[in-house]
Structures are given as C-alpha cells and as structure tokens.
C-alpha cells in the first residue's frame, strides 16, 4: 500500500494536467474563422451546365456583405477556368482562374464592394463528356 504522502503528491501533480488538457465546454460559441466562412458560403448558389457545351455564364448576381470576395467551388470531375464579368462596367473577364476538379472555395475576384452586379464565366473543353457543376458565394 502506498504511503498517503506519495498519493497526495501524485494527485496534486495531476491537477494542472487535467485543467490544461480538458476540452472546452460545448456551450461556448465558436466565432472563429470557421463561423465566418460558414456565413459567407451559407448563401452559395449552384450552377449547372449541360454536357456538350464550351462552358457558359452563371448569373447575373449582386455582391452582398456576406463575403468580401467572389468565391467559386468546382464540384465537377474535371478542372475548369472561371472569371468574373462586372456587367455594369464591361462584358470582358477580370482574369481567368483555374479551378481544379472537386476544388474547395477559390476567390475569383477579391475585395469587391457590396451591390456590384456580376456574372461568372466558365470555359473548358471537357463539357462534351460530363456536365459542369459549380457553386458561387458572394
């Protein structure tokens, strides 16, 4: 049987480890980056382009205060190119951005003001084999 002083030292030494290693309470809110991302992407819009086309345009959409950027996620089995057209100013693309197959969210235009009208243009040769499915968050 262990001496009572040895047991007391062992228990006392374990208390700081329990306090540091214990998980946070489930009641505490998490307002970190995940909460911000969920808010931005929570209003995402889906676009679908039939097999056999060169691509196409999705929209016209209007930017909101949910996101600072215009984000696109490619849900298709192949990569594609995407660009943003600010329709009130031009009918040309801002710049082409490559979206890999089954990509995460990628910003195709950054620091865009609220209330700006835009379309997202896609271009790819593989539409002849499979449809393109993409999501837009703005």
**pLDDT for 73-114, tens place per residue?**
998 888 889 999 999 999 999 999 999 999 999 999 999 999
CATH number at residue 122: 2.60.120
Residue 124 lies in a domain: yes
Query: Which residues constitute the domain of residue 93?
Result: 33-137
Residue 26 lies in a domain: no
Query: Do residues 108 and 82 lie in contact, with contact meaning Cβ atoms separated by under 8 Å?
Result: yes
Higher pLDDT, 136 or 15: 136
The pLDDT tens digits for 5-60 are 444 444 444 433 333 333 332 333 333 344 444 578 887 888 887 765 667 888 89
The model carries a pTM of 0.65
> What's the total number of domains in the chain?
1
At 123, list the tokens: 């271009």
The secondary element (H helix, E strand) that includes residue 33 is helix 33-41
**pLDDT in the model for residue 26:** 30
């Amino acid at each position: 049987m262990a001496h009572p002083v040895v047991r007391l030292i062992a228990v006392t030494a374990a208390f700081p480890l329990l306090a540091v290693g214990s998980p946070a309470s489930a009641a505490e809110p998490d307002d970190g980056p995940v909460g911000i991302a969920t808010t931005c992407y929570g209003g995402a819009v889906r676009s679908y382009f039939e097999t056999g086309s060169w691509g196409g345009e999705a929209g016209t959409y209007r930017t909101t205060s949910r996101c600072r950027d215009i984000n696109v996620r490619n849900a298709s089995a192949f990569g594609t190119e995407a660009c943003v057209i600010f329709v009130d100013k031009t009918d040309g693309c801002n710049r082409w951005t490559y979206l890999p197959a089954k990509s995460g969210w990628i910003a195709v235009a950054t620091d865009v003001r609220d209330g700006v009208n835009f379309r997202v243009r896609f271009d790819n040769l593989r539409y002849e084999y499979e449809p393109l499915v993409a999501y837009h968050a703005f």
